[in-house]
Structure 1
Amino acid sequence: MTTYGGYSRTTYGAAGGGDDGGGFFGGSQGGSQAAKPVNDESLRPVTVKQIIDAEQAFGSDGPFRIDGVDVTQVTFVGMVRQINPQTTNITYRLDDGTGIMEVKLWLDPDKQDSESRAAFTEEQYVRVWGRLKSFGNKRHVGAHVIKPVADFNEVNYHLLEAAYVHLFFTKGGLALGGEGGNAAGGGGGNEGGMFVDSNDAFLRNASAAAKKVYQYLNQSEESNEGVNSHNIARDTGLSFQDVTAAAEELLGHGKIYTTLDDETFAILQGF
């Protein structure tokens, strides 16, 4: 389990794949590798942009730092843009919407079956677990494991998780703006205080249309698939254009998220 202050989550139950010298998912670790502090090997959810922007001291041999914290093991989700199979490894170019990153999956020479070869296709979403690497001033992720994304909600979930951890390290997990108990959303713990806007503070300053759409979605009994903009307009009496503008406002403040498509929305629970 990886823990960030009051926020904790279990690590993903993945197994198999190339190790790229990582050893994170099992096996013995001897010498200086085993002596590393636990935090140095914590698994960090990130975006590609965070990898690109990560600081690295001492050239290509120094540790990577994101939000002022050393990071080696990462996980991210992206779409396969290009596949380059070679004798010893497969290089994937993955796009997560914030940037493009190369991911190298090293092949086990003792396993030449189909599972060791390119198991994914272009335009497919996958999740990667691996170690940050730099070679010749070019960064990549040495993959321990790559798994297909079976549910697109995992893409949205990962981006939210990466934002959550980023805010913990940059904001300290404390409520901002003096909102006190309201900033925690009445739910206890620090989780609600990770974001600048409490619901009360946001609703005081939001447009009338945004308030109406937010309240409608908050009271909706629809499934996790959310509610389409046309249905929101029909039920609230707003025009479709007003609903679209309200949705953009709510998305910008992290109050809702898109589900099935760009016109279907659901409340981001707990924030």
Structure 2
Amino acid sequence: MSNGYGGGFDHSMGEGGFSNDNASSQGSAVRSSMTPVTIKQINDASQPIPDANFSVYNVELNMISFVGVLRKVDVQTSAVVLTVEDGSGSIELRKWINASVSTPEAEAEKYSNDINKYVHVGGALKEFQGKKNVQNVAVYSVTDHNQVLYHNLSAIENHLKKQGVTAKPKVKEGSDGGSLFVPETAGNSMEDRALQVIRQYSNTMLEGVPATFVAQKLNISPEQAKAYCDGLSDAGQVYIGTDDTSYICI
């Protein structure tokens, strides 16, 4: 398994993966066609007709990529099965082994150092024996945890675009006389005000807007701020940052 992450899909995937034997322009086309997703999106996806591409909430899933933690490696007769979970769900990845090239045991050994660590996965979403499975799968170690957050934000952005949600204009600090309350066109509840703070500062606080910062801006207790932020997270309006006390809004 490659230990690189950024640009990992530029390299040859070897047996069962993508190949860089084609022209670089073709490789770029493959990478650009990958849809960033969460495992929940994969598990919720369905096919309109047999053998058609999977889709979920207007997002077509063919060549996909996701980030998760490698939890289990199983050796089978002619394949290695990897179990990956990302907090939203889990999925099995089946890598078929060419007996003339290697053995399942040897291939499984390549992943031993990545168990309970983040990996980046790419491949084609298919169905195998009635279960969703990623074929032609490529798995890379994640060495920069910023890539985990970046991927999840990319998946959220792609999902919102497919729903027709466009980015709102950024509000300059102080442009409303110093008030961080939401405009009259939006709700004026404390959750709405917390959302406005998170939305305004997510662009500069890339690891997440702390609940304590929201509390300061709204002149409420940290406990109250976290409760409002958690409510926004449960409603899917914000995303948990690098820890469970910081929040991001696209």
> Structure 1 length as normaliser, TM-score?
0.63
CA distance in 2, matches of 1:161, 1:216: 18
Instruction: Give the superposition deviation at 1:74.
Output: 1.1
Q: How does 1:34-49 map to 2 (within 5 A)?
A: 42-49=33-40
CA distance 1:46–1:212, shift in 2 (3 Å) = closer
| 3-state DSSP of counterpart to 1:50 | helix
**1:229-257 deviations in whole A, cap 9, x for unaligned?**
34554575311221112312443576654
What is the aligned partner in structure 2 of residue 164 from structure 1? 157
User: Residues 165, 78 of structure 1: CA spacing in aligned structure 2 closer, same or farther, 3 A cutoff?
Assistant: same
- Offset, 1:91: 1.2
Instruction: Verify: 1:26 aligned to 2:33, yes or no.
Output: no
Equivalent residues in 2 for 1:43-122 (5 A)? 43-56=34-47, 59=50, 62-67=51-56, 71-86=61-76, 88-107=78-97, 109-110=100-101, 117-122=110-115
**CA 201–11 in structure 1, closer or farther in 2 if over 3 Å, else same:** farther
How far did residue 264 of structure 1 move? 2.6
Match of 2:224 among 225, 242, 247: 242
**Is the 8 Å Cα contact of residues 213 and 232 (structure 1) preserved in structure 2?**
no
Q: Deviations over 1:21-44 (max 9, x none)?
A: x65x43359xxxx9xxx89x9312
Gaps of 5+ in 1: 1-9, 176-182, 188-198
Q: Within 5 Å, which residues of 2 pair with 1:122-133?
A: 122-133=115-126
Partner Cα separation in structure 1 for residue 224 and residue 136 of structure 2: 45
Contact kept in structure 2, 1:90 and 1:104, CA below 8 Å: yes
**Matched residues, number:** 227
The answer for the alignment partner of 1:17 in structure 2 is: 13
Distance across 2 between alignment mates of 1:14 and 1:252: 36
Counterpart in 2 of 1:4?
Answer: none
Structure 2: give runs of 5+ residues left out of the alignment: 1-5, 172-180
Matched with 2:197 is 215
Contact 2:74 2:81 in 1 (8 A): yes
Is the 1:11–1:43 contact (alpha carbons within 8 Å) kept by the matching residues of 2?
Answer: no
- The structure, 1 or 2, with the larger RCO (C-alpha pairs under 8 Å, 6+ apart) is 2
Give yes or no for contact 1:81–1:93 (8 Å, CA) kept in 2.
yes
Out of 136, 145, 155, the position equivalent to 1:152 is 145
> By how many angstroms is 1:144 displaced?
3.5
When residues 224 and 170 of structure 1 are mapped into structure 2, their CA distance, relative to the original with a 3 A threshold, is: closer
Give the CA deviation at 1:211. Answer: 1.8
1:102 maps to a residue whose letter is E
Q: What is the rounded CA distance, in whole Å, between the counterparts of 2:147 and 2:206 in structure 1?
A: 13
Answer whether contact 1:63 1:70 (CA < 8 A) is retained: no
> What is the deviation of 1:220?
9.4
CA-atom RMSD in angstroms: 4.2
Distance 2:212 2:240 in 1: 14
- Corresponding letter in the other structure for 2:206: N
SS in 1 for 2:186: helix
Q: State the 1:129 CA deviation.
A: 0.7
CA–CA distance in structure 2, aligned partners of residues 213 and 54 of structure 1: 29
